[in-house]
Amino acid sequence: MRVSVRAASKISQSLKTSFISRNSAKTKQTSNFNSSYSRNFTSSTMRSDPFKPAQRVAGQKQDVWSIVNEAAAASPVQPIVNMGQGFFGYNPPQFVIDAAKQALDKVDCNQYSPTKGRPRLKKALAKAYSPHFNREINPETEVTITTGANEGMLSAFMAFVEEGDEVIVFEPFFDQYISNIEMAGGKVIYIPMHPPPGSDTKTSSAAGWKINMEAFEAALNSKTRMIVLNSPHNPIGKVFSKEELQAIGDLCVKHNIIILSDEVYDKLYYVPFTRVANLSPEIGKLTLTVGSGGKNFYCTGWRVGWLIGPGNLIKYVSAAHTRICYSSVSPLQEATAIGFEQADEHNFWEESKKEMKGKMGKFNKIWDELGLPYSDPEGGYFVLVNMAKVSLPEDYHFPPHVAERPRDFKLAWFLIMEVGVAAIPPTEFFTPDNAHIVEDWLRFAVCKNDDVLETAQERLRGLKKYIK
């Protein structure tokens, strides 16, 4: 099969390269000092700037997180209500915290875990997810543990993407996808999603954001290696319907393209949730599903994630993960395993969903009160709000790094400075050509304590005088 042969050749190539470089390093050590001296100091290829960064990390503009966090620190309204980044304002459930504390007392939990992950966690995930995938998942061959979903996705790109291969990403995208794909040498092909007509004047369901399937199909060619799907979606809050996923999956089968399905918000859906891997055996064979303990148990700092998929794909993801970080944090893998083992007896998944949906519903009342339309989420914990009606004072001073960005950056800056609430400008999740689609929107994360959400609502009432 095309998948395994290409991945195998890449990984055996990288093993060969490291073998050759190890051997040549040995040769260098034994070579004559004078000749290596003259080679190093007279070569025309001598580096003019030893500190010049590699292309893959050079030239990155200031990212949205640091702009928003810096602005938040400089705001005259303190403490700021930070609804920007998607970290939780509260702790994991007590049974998961207890599991983490107890794990620290166990000798083996403080040592290296196997590179593919702790057997207990792989088993707990296979048991928990088998019913969702309508098949028995093999914990040994079909699950691999990673350092958060993010490193799991990097491992997947490293496993299957060769220099110049194309990877399709839908806009808006979770920003880490892009650098992860490019780091592996891939070329990102962007397909924008569009909000439903009229979403700038009245609230509509996040379901209304659509992929132009003709544009998607037209983008597929012999270089297309993977696509990245995200459902429930960050930042839109859309849960892709079965029909949408079927149409995407069938095209991937037709063109033999790997689907990387980012399902980190898989426990937070408020409408029926379909897993693309389940749609047919053919789609299942080329789908890697990504999960996150951080998102599931409110501990984004733990950095425990995983991929589930067919063994002939998972083994190469594990091989790449071994090269990137060898293995992931042991005691927190153990605690995540116990979290999955005990979640049902604590009715945790139901409670978690109910709680988040409740926060979402309560918080969004402020937009109804202010008359600002929003995209009503079907899942996850982000809400996109349309701020076209907010009129920014003409003479308002924005610093140059904000002034040069689209209007949503100015809206975010203004809200931080004048109202004391931080949100994320979503044009950051689009390419410049398509940024206009969301330049009037802002993204708010509701995974915060209720009193924080109430303070945010109170402060957001301060926007009234700027609404046309």
Ligand X SMILES: Cc1ncc(COP(=O)(O)O)c(C=O)c1O
**DSSP assigned state of 385:** E
Residue closest to ligand X (Cβ) = 148
174 binds ligand X (CB under 6 A): yes
| Region near ligand X per CB under 6 A, out of 100-108, 292-300, 396-404, 415-423 | 292-300
Separation CA 235–CA 444 (nearest Å): 9
155 binds ligand X (CB under 6 A): no
82 binds ligand X (CB under 6 A): no
| Region near ligand X per CB under 6 A, out of 2-10, 99-107, 146-154, 363-371 | 146-154
Which helix (H) or strand (E) segment holds residue 210: the answer is strand 210-211
| Region near ligand X per CB under 6 A, out of 45-53, 145-153, 411-419, 439-447 | 145-153
237 binds ligand X (CB under 6 A): no
Separation CA 165–CA 430 (nearest Å): 21
Number of residues that bind ligand X (CB under 6 A): 13
Separation CA 300–CA 86 (nearest Å): 9
Nearest distance from C-beta of residue 21 to ligand X, angstroms: 30
- Which of residues 370 and 412 has its CB atom nearest to ligand X in the complex? 412
- Which of residues 126 and 229 has its CB atom nearest to ligand X in the complex? 229
CB atoms within 10 A of CB 194: 15
Q: Is residue 330 a contact partner of residue 113, using CB atoms and an 8 Å limit? A: yes
Angle at 172 between CA 169 and CA 173, to 5 degrees: 50
289 binds ligand X (CB under 6 A): no
262 binds ligand X (CB under 6 A): yes
Using CB under 6 A as the binding rule, the residues of this chain from 389 to 408 that contact ligand X are: none
Angstrom CA distances, 345 to 101, 205, 298, 348, 424, stand at: 20, 33, 18, 8, 36
Angstrom CA distances, 296 to 96, 195, 383, stand at: 11, 28, 18
305 binds ligand X (CB under 6 A): yes
Among 149, 169, 260, 288, binds ligand X (CB under 6 A): 149
- Which of residues 276 and 390 has its CB atom nearest to ligand X in the complex? 276
Among 144, 278, 300, 386, binds ligand X (CB under 6 A): 300
Nearest CA to 191 out of 248, 239, 262 is that of: 248
Residues that bind ligand X (CB under 6 A): 86, 148-150, 174, 230, 234, 262, 264, 292, 294, 300, 305
